[in-house]
Amino acid sequence: MRVLLTGGAGYIGSHTAIELLARGHSVDIVDNLSNGNAEAVRRIRRLSDRTVGFYQMDLNDESELARVLGEGEFDACVHMAGHKSVAESVADPIEYYRNNIGSTLTLMRGLQEHGVRKFVFSSSATVYGDASKSPLTEENPTGVGITNPYGQSKFMIEQILRDVARADTEMRIAVLRYFNPVGAHESGELGEDPRGMPNNLLPYVSQVAIGRRDYVSVFGSGYPTPDGTGVRDYIHVVDLAMGHVAALEQLAPGLDSFNLGTGTGTSVLELIDAFAHACGREIPYRVVGPRTGDVAESVASVDKARRILQWAASRTVKDACIDSWRWQSNNPNGFPSTGS
Ligand code: WQD
């Protein structure tokens, strides 16, 4: 298939590009580089030894998008572009709704006008809100107790896509609910490169390991979990990328949602310990108060993806820590900023 990959210069997008190319699909990337990096696109080309189109543009730009879609004759779109910081979304909800929802609407209209009816969307386990019963199945109610505009924007886009699939019965849409993506490409050439202070646990731990930060703040140790710290389902980004390929290749008429996780929970302290083993260094940490909006536990039920997509994660948290450490030590300051 010829695939339009939005957000393809970002962390998950770059790994997904590699796996799509490895399966023989062709890939054109659209990214405004607000969070992605042009060097990631160069590395995708080098690692895959394939031609990869790259359009540095904003999806909200209707006429540019029409031009790209007109040139491309795409079979499918994998849509990952969007702002993703929970904290930023609380500070500037208007920007989050405008960008994430607005760009998706512009994209959907453009795809419709160009007859592209295969669509894979990056959603998040955050749509399950404050649901306290892990493992979470896809039947779990969504939209209840979501504590931030980032999560709300994912939930709202899911609703929009449902209506789009109802109105056009030829649409084939897969909604992928990511749990906690971690790890890096095993080449050490691609990985997560957060701008400024990392929002998520693993990149933070990794920056402490390399000496860019002094210690990890562990947000709370009084949760009803085995060691009192928060439990999450950390999924290796390469497994996650392969989940996209599986979803794309199995698209059925209508809309269906799938959890992409491992089915296994890991606590904050377990993750810190796994990373310390992977890098052979001590990771200093301090327990501080819980972070507002956090749930005790979030672990996926992975049965549906296994059954329908014939996909399951095969990499462990240990693998993810080893790969992240390789990426972090090869690129201590992330991607070089060499311009586009
Ligand atoms: C994991 C665990 C923290 C940082 C968020 C978004 C979600 C998705 C992924 C993506 C929790 C603890 C964290 C730190 C800590 N968004 N922690 N110290 O909160 O599960 O999910 O990221 O784009 O929508 O909500 O992930 O990595 O922030 O936290 O103790 O410095 O680590 O309390 O238990 P989270 P996370």
Query: Taking the chain (340 residues) in consecutive chunks of 10 residues, what is each chunk's mean pLDDT?
Result: 98 98 98 97 98 97 97 96 96 98 98 98 96 91 95 98 97 98 98 91 95 96 97 98 98 98 98 98 97 94 98 98 96 77
pLDDT tens for 73-110 read: 999 999 999 999 999 999 999 999 999 999 999 999 99
What pLDDT was estimated at residue 339? 46
Residue 62 lies in a domain: yes
Closest Cα to residue 95, out of 36, 5, 34?
34
Residue 10 lies in a domain: yes
Residue 179 near ligand 1, beta carbon < 6 Å: no
What pLDDT was estimated at residue 297? 96
Residue 110 lies in a domain: yes
Cα 276 to chain center, whole Å?
24
The whole-angstrom separation of Cα 99 and Cα 90 is 14
* Ligand 1 atom 21: residue of nearest CA: 180
Residue 297 lies in a domain: no
Encoded amino acid at 225, one letter:
T
Catalytic residue among 11, 55, 96, 150: 150
Tokens of 287: 């327990």
Pinpoint the alpha helices (H) of the chain: 11-22, 38-48, 62-72, 86-91, 93-96, 102-113, 149-167, 201-209, 237-249, 268-279, 303-304, 317-330
Residue 19 lies in a domain: yes
Pocket probe for ligand 1: among 180, 206, 240, 269, the residue whose CB has the most ligand atoms within 8 Å is 180
What pLDDT was estimated at residue 338? 53
Q: Is 150 a catalytic residue?
A: yes
Interface ipTM: 0.98
What pLDDT was estimated at residue 113? 96
Pocket probe for ligand 1: among 272, 291, 292, 324, the residue whose CB has the most ligand atoms within 8 Å is 291
What CATH number does residue 79 fall under?
Answer: 3.40.50.720
Ligand 1 centroid to residue 181 C-alpha, Å? 10
**DSSP letter, residue 261:** S
Residue 23 lies in a domain: yes
pLDDT tens for 32-63 read: 999 999 999 999 999 999 999 999 999 999 99
Residue 99 lies in a domain: yes
Residue 307 lies in a domain: no
The backbone torsions φ and ψ at residue 112, rounded to the nearest 5 degrees and listed phi first, read -60, -45
Question: Could you tell me the residue range of the domain that residue 121 belongs to?
Answer: 2-182+235-261
The number of domains in the chain is: 1
- For the chain, the residue count is 340
Positive or negative CA dihedral for 84, 246, 52, 320? Answer: positive
DSSP strand pairing (2-6 vs 26-31): parallel
Can you tell me which residue has the tokens 């200093």?
A: 284
